Amino acid sequence: MSSTDVKSRLESFNCYYFDKDVTQKFISFLMKKGDVIAPHKTGELSYKYEIVSDATEVVLNYSRTILPLKKAFMPPRETLINFNIKNNQYTKPQISTEPKIFFGIHSYEMQSIKRLDYSFITGLPESNYLTRRENCKFIGVAYKPDEWHFAGSVGIDINETDGFCLYFYPAKNGYIVFEITDEGKNLLDEFGEGSEVTDEYLKLNEDKFQAKIKFHHNRIPEIFTHVYNSKVWEDVAQKCVGCGTCNLLCSTCYCYDVHDEIELDVENGQRDRFWDGCMLNKFAEVAGGENFRDNLGSRNRHRLYRKFKYITNQSDKLHCVGCGRCSRYCPANISLVEIVNDLIDDYTKQQQKEIL
Amino acid sequence: MENLIFEKKDLYNPIISTITNVEQLTDTEKRFEIALPENQILNHKPGQFVQVSIFGFGEAPISISSSPTKSPLFDLTVRNAGRLTDKMHRLTVGSQLGVRGPFGNGFEVNNFKGKDILFVCGGIGLAPTKSLIDYVLANRNDFGRVVILYGTKSPSEILFSDEIEKWKKDKSVELEISIDRPDENWKGKVGVITTLIPPLKLDVANTIATIVGPPVMYKFVLMALKGKRVPDENIYLSLERRMKCGVGKCGHCQINDTYVCQDGPVFHYPRVKELKEAV
Amino acid sequence: MSKPKIAFFDFTSCEGCQLNKLNLENDLLDLLELVDIVEFREAMDDKADEYDIAFIEGSISTPTCITRIHDIRRRTKILVALGACAVQGGINAIKNQHSADWVKETVYGEDKYLFPSIPVQPISAVVKVDYEVRGCPMSTPEFLHVLKSLILNRKPEIFDHAVCVECKLKENECVLDKGMFCLGPITRAGCDAICPTFGQYCTGCRGVVSNINKNGAVEMLKQHGFSTKEALNRMKMFCTLELE
């Protein structure tokens, strides 16, 4: 869908005007319905999703959170079972299905959850993830792309409302709140506040992405069928230190490792899973010590192929949502957009050679 | 999400099972016979694996070395090589362990019916192959020739010596063993497993070849089979990866777009040729 | 193993790792339930002849160290190196970057001939080390993990990935982002990113991850405003020998 389509669709939704006070009152209203999870400031430059305890602490004009929303459905560390070594018995911890409302979510983030849904449902549907996904509502907010966002290049418009029940769009001293679904409409009806939107407020800007992939997103998987042996991977390997930050902060990565830990009584313990990453040293090592991706070039390649080709072949969607976290937080300043553009250049050169 | 219908599953709960027999096969390998509770049947295919766990020691993928015809009991042949397997080697009859699975695709035995079968097994690779060999021998009339090639580093590493004795006596089985580093008592063939292939007389069009062994072995065996003009479509390989979950999620066993734990560990060779980083 | 006999020994070090154990407080009492501590100079006078587990703190820096560590190795079933000095030579190994004579002169002056001193080596350069607990001081949770594992007779789980992993799992604001120096991207995890969590930078005390991209790391730090010289100097603070 092009931006103009998204804009006209957005304008077709019923909407209200919330000033800042009403917005905070609305958050407090939501807090009576369940846990509200929203972006908060952490440190000087960063944001993170936290359960709201005070509506005034919610930050809606944020760039991106450090950890993606996947942490709500697949926690960084999670106990799979609690066990007792002596009697060989175990229990699976209860996972709460209490209602959760995610407030102030960007469109790329919402789409990352759709990608994760695919990954956890496909094959054997996993109860840990899917139980946490029950009873969730998502309320979106528009964002102003910074130099790292590139969601437009992977086909996700800033104002994509798919997945949201309500969508907040910044306006003078407040927000225009769009009713995306009946669920959203019911919330607004029950809340009962907000005023009519006058033309003065309804000005939807066309925010532009600064970071861009050169080719249309439909063509990205095609590129990846031709660049497996590209020199670009060696170039990336020169700069990359293999710290794994790009994997861990990726909103669609879900690889994990599992370990048993034991209590000091050396009798009780738990089997924990925690986030792992294909960029890390030992990820592809097998029992005999052989490592099938033993260098940073092949590891970077695997990471990008998972985003643009491997899962895409099956799901028909790019599994990169353009949040820009991998590039924003890479200590070596490696940019995913630059890698893809370099691959595109390489591919174009290859093609020109073939024509000549 | 709301409109998706699926049955979500507790994928990580092991079934607490009991060891009913332990047999020391070599210095480093033991065979464990396992019973699921209440005579449950594992319902596996030759070539599949289970995730074995011992609380406090973690979990590891282990291939099933017995044929489904042995049900309800099944065998796991385990080399003492890691945290879990080291503990497993200290377990005795009556000890309990956790089992999840079976996982993976296993061998498509129906496609093998009526064919000659060439089993190429390197080292511990005989363990998963044995589930298929046992199955074929239990249904002997469904198959043509049975040729087993087995290579290990030293004579002391030869697995399943009881079965090997039986195979030697069985007129319907052709068995060749080669040892890499023989000792003074070894009277058989010497050399890597690939040296066993050139002398074979095969009706290649009607022969299915299976290859299971350590990662380094595959390339050379494939070259030797190519030398014999065995068609690629007749070759199956079982690949080893470090599966952490067995259910296509954790990512550790992924080769390109393929999860070995789901689409493997048994692969048709034409598929493996498309994959990079596979062998 | 029933109540293993454990002993602690210190070589060239500040003894901070051993003190760190005394700081275990609540866990210390539980710990004493599990093991029999037979030798621990920091806390007791008892001595024993044989041990199930010997924990070694400090590096090898004199000929006497070598004799002593061989003796301990003979008397223990399992030997665990504790802390940066024991595992990778640590700060002590900085002296290897200079001429032995200059070092002795600077430290002991005219009396330098009275002190036999050899280039610093990690314990593993002299005897077989079964397990390592890294860090300066060593990480106490990791120490407990290793101890519990050994009591259970299992191999401890030791990580070979960067501190960044643990730092991200804790959702800390990136230290490099704040303009500070940090070796988190190339330093071995296992400390739960304790320094960045408390607003400090990672000094690399746990040593570098294996297969480190050293040039990449220097370039990375350059991009954050640190010269090659400064980057290498800081990397060598704990890792002289690992970066050789």
Q: Quote the DSSP letter at residue A199.
A: T
Domain ranges of chain C: 5-151, 163-239
Disruptive mutation site among A110, A248, A250, A258 for chain B (greatest number of B CBs within 10 Å): A258
List residues of B whose CB lies inside 8 A of any A CB: 1, 4, 6-14, 16, 53, 55-60, 81-82, 96, 98, 214-216, 240-242, 244-245, 247-252, 254-257, 259, 262, 276-277
One of 2.60.40.10, 3.40.50.800, 3.40.50.700, 3.40.50.300 is the CATH number of C5-151, namely 3.40.50.700
Q: Please give the mean pLDDT across all residues of chain C.
A: 89
Residue-wise pLDDT for A79-112, tens only, equals 999 999 999 999 999 999 999 999 999 999 999 9
Q: Is residue B54 within 8 Å of residue B97, measured between CB atoms?
A: yes
Query: Model confidence over A277-287: pLDDT tens digits?
Result: 999 988 988 87
Beta-carbon separation of B87 and C157 below 8 A: no
Is the separation of the CB atoms in A48 and A59 below 8 Å?
A: no
Looking at the complex, does the CB of residue B248 fall below 8 Å from at least one CB of chain C? no
Query: Quick check: helix, strand or coil at residue A70?
Result: helix
**Distance between B165 CA and the closest CA of chain A, angstroms:** 29
Give the pLDDT score at A4: 64
* Angle, in degrees to the nearest 10, between helices A232-239 and C214-223: 70
Looking at beta carbons, which residues of chain B come within 8 Å of C153?
A: 87, 90
Asked whether the beta carbons of residue C216 and residue A281 sit closer than 8 angstroms, the reply is no
Which tokens go with A111? 């789409």
Q: How far away is chain C from the Cα of B96, in angstroms, using its nearest Cα? A: 16
Among A77, A86, A251, A264, most C C-beta atoms within 10 A, so best to mutate, is A264
Note whether A331 contacts C220, CB cutoff 8 Å: yes
ipTM value, please give it: 0.91
Is A215:A56 a contact under the CB 8 Å cutoff? Answer: no
Shortest distance, CA C78 to any CA of chain B (angstroms): 16
Interface of chain A toward chain C, CB-CB under 8 angstroms:
42-46, 48, 66-67, 71, 76-77, 85, 237-245, 248-249, 259, 261-262, 264-266, 274-275, 277, 280-282, 294, 296, 329, 331-333
Alpha carbon distance C212, C232 (integer Å): 13
| In the predicted structure, residue C47 carries a pLDDT above the cut 80 | no
How is chain A split into domains, by residue range? Answer: 3-67+94-196, 217-355
* C157 contacts chain B (CB < 8 A): yes
Using alpha carbons, select from A118, A121, A107, A125 the residue that is nearest to residue A163.
A107
Q: Which of B28-37, C20-29, C40-49 has the lowest mean pLDDT?
A: C40-49
Q: Is the dihedral of CA A291, A293, A299, A303 positive or negative?
A: negative
pLDDT of residue B262: 92
Above 70 in pLDDT, residue C113? yes
C-alpha distances (whole Å) from C135 to each of B223, C43, C205 are: 49, 21, 5
Q: CA nearest A280 in C: which residue?
A: C161
**Arithmetic mean of pLDDT, B140-148:** 95
Report which of A161, A170, A102 is spatially closest to residue A137, judged by C-alpha positions.
Answer: A102
Interface test with C, best of B53, B83, B85, B89 (most C CBs within 10 A): B83
pLDDT at residue B3 in the model:
45
Looking at per-residue pLDDT, the higher value among C130 and C31 belongs to: C130
Structure confidence at residue B1 (pLDDT): 47
Which residue does chain C place closest to A283, by CA atoms?
C161
The residue in chain B having the minimum alpha-carbon distance to the alpha carbon of residue C154 is B83
Report the alpha-carbon distance of residue C222 to residue B199 in Å, rounded: 61
- Provide the pLDDT for residue B222: 95
Mean pLDDT of chain B: 93
**Structural domains of chain B, with CATH:** 15-103 (2.40.30.10), 109-238 (3.40.50.80)
Neighbours of chain A (3+ CB pairs under 8 A): B, C
Name the closest residue on chain B to residue A274, using Cα atoms. Answer: B250
Amino acid A139 reads: I
Nearest to C220 among A241, A266, A280 (CB): A241
Alpha helix segments (H runs only) across chain C: 16-22, 26-34, 63-75, 83-88, 100-108, 140-151, 163-169, 194-197, 214-223, 228-239
For residue C130, the chain B residues in CB contact (below 8 A) are none
For residue B90, give the chain C residue with the closest CA: C153
What is the structure's pLDDT at B163?
Answer: 93
Per the CB < 8 Å rule, is C34 touching A274?
A: no
pLDDT tens, position by position, B194-211:
999 999 999 999 999 999
Q: How far is B128 from chain A (nearest CA, A)?
A: 15
Asked whether the beta carbons of residue C154 and residue B82 sit closer than 8 angstroms, the reply is no
Under the banding of pLDDT at 50, 70 and 90, the label for residue C42 is low
Contacts B–C by Cβ distance under 8 A: 13
Residue given tokens 């907000």 in the structure block: A194
Q: Do C223 and A259 touch (CB under 8 A)?
A: no
State the nearest Cα–Cα gap between A46 and chain C, in angstroms: 6
Enumerate the β-bridge partners of residue A169: A176
Report pLDDT for A3.
Answer: 60
Could you report the per-residue pLDDT of A169-180, keeping only the tens digit for each?
998 889 999 999
In this model, does residue A55 exceed pLDDT 60? yes
C98-105: average pLDDT: 86
- Distance (Å) from the alpha carbon of B38 to chain C's nearest alpha carbon: 30
- State how far the alpha carbon of A107 is from the alpha carbons of A11, A144, A149, B234, in Å: 17, 12, 11, 49
Instruction: State how far residue B46 is from chain C, nearest Cα, in angstroms.
Output: 31
Distance from the B224 Cα atom to the nearest Cα atom in chain A, whole angstroms: 23
Contact call for A331 and C219, based on CB within 8 A: no
User: Which strand (E) or helix (H) includes residue B254?
Assistant: strand B254-255
